[in-house]
Amino acid sequence: MPVFYDQIGREISLSAAPKRIVSVVPSQTELLFYLGLDQEVVGITRYCVHPADKFKTTAKIGGTKQLDIAGIKALKPDLIIANKEENEKNQIEELMMFCPVWVSDINDLPGAVDMIEKVGVLVNRESAAKAISGLIKDRFDSLTMLQSPLRIAYFIWRKPYMAAGRGTFINSMLQKCGFTNVFEQGRYPEVNAAVIAGARPDVIFLSSEPYPFKEKHIAEFKAMLPSAVIKVVDGELFSWYGSRLLYAPAYFEELLNLLSPAFNH
């Protein structure tokens, strides 16, 4: 029986290539479909919105943190693919009682590449996964970073304000662009207006997810930091660590070029 190891060091045994996969993480769901597992993926969360056609036709088994355990069990999966941060530990442990569960743990680009390649082996799509990871690495290698680091704050939530901090995948993407994060205390620190103003970021990114920041929210941040450059950004391209990473470098390059009138790039 083939033995695999997930990213938290657990041993997973599969008697054969999986035929009924449940994915409880949006970016990993998209990867599975990108690898051509249209028939094998039988259950996804309500946040697994890509690809749109598969989202419409695949069974939903709750949210990433509110999984429908009974619904998953009814699908009779032979493999569940989860994530340490995005899913609740007690729910994942419950799933482990009746099905092999492969858990990712991703905080940076090497971790994402490792996940893509390991999942490829796990689901019998090794060559396709290696092709994807190779392209991702090449595209990030050709990304032109900022020539002089800019101080940045990247917000993922409002009421209370929450930023992406040290040790997060988002922070690693900001570093790839050449930014220096002004909030490094903790992974997702809560901050108030006084703390935000005191941190003096040159640039503020308002993420489109998980909180759906819009252009209308720019004014409240302008009131705190009139001199900062403030932009609403595509949160998926900063936080999804599957096949969507193929498109992240071009998007980051575009963002950096948009900033160039205000800063040297």
**pLDDT for 48-68, tens place per residue?**
999 999 999 999 999 999 999
User: Cis omega (within 30 of 0) on the bond before 160?
Assistant: yes
Instruction: In whole angstroms, give the CA distance from residue 115 to residue 226.
Output: 41
How are the residues of the chain apportioned to helix, strand and coil, as percentages rounded to the nearest 5? Answer: 40, 20, 40
Q: Which residues pair with 244 in a beta bridge?
A: none
Instruction: In whole angstroms, give the CA distance from residue 80 to residue 237.
Output: 24
Measured at the CA of 202, the angle between CA 211 and CA 86, to 5 degrees, comes to 30
Q: What is the mean pLDDT of residues 41-51?
A: 97
Q: Which of 131, 6, 8 is nearest to 80 (CA)?
A: 6
Instruction: Report yes or no: 79 and 18 within 8 Å, Cβ to Cβ.
Output: yes
The CB-side HSE value for 199 (13 A sphere, CA atoms) comes to 27
Q: Which of 28, 45, 34 is nearest to 111 (CA)?
A: 28
What are the structure tokens assigned to 34, written together?
Answer: 């990108």
Does residue 265 carry a pLDDT above 50?
Answer: no
pLDDT greater at residue 149 or residue 155: 155
H or E element: which one contains 79?
Answer: strand 79-83
Instruction: Report yes or no: 4 and 102 within 8 Å, Cβ to Cβ.
Output: yes
Give the three-state DSSP class for 228.
coil
Domains of the chain and any CATH numbers: 3-105 (3.40.50.1980), 150-259 (3.40.50.1980)
Number of Cβ within a 10 Å radius of residue 163? 31
Q: What is the mean pLDDT of residues 95-108?
A: 97
Residues present in the chain in total: 265
In tens, the pLDDT along 10-34 reads 999 999 999 999 999 999 999 999 9
Give the three-state DSSP class for 179.
strand
Instruction: Report yes or no: 81 and 21 within 8 Å, Cβ to Cβ.
Output: yes
In tens, the pLDDT along 183-231 reads 988 899 999 999 999 999 999 999 999 999 999 999 999 999 999 999 9
What is the model's pLDDT at position 146? 86
Does residue 127 carry a pLDDT above 50?
Answer: yes
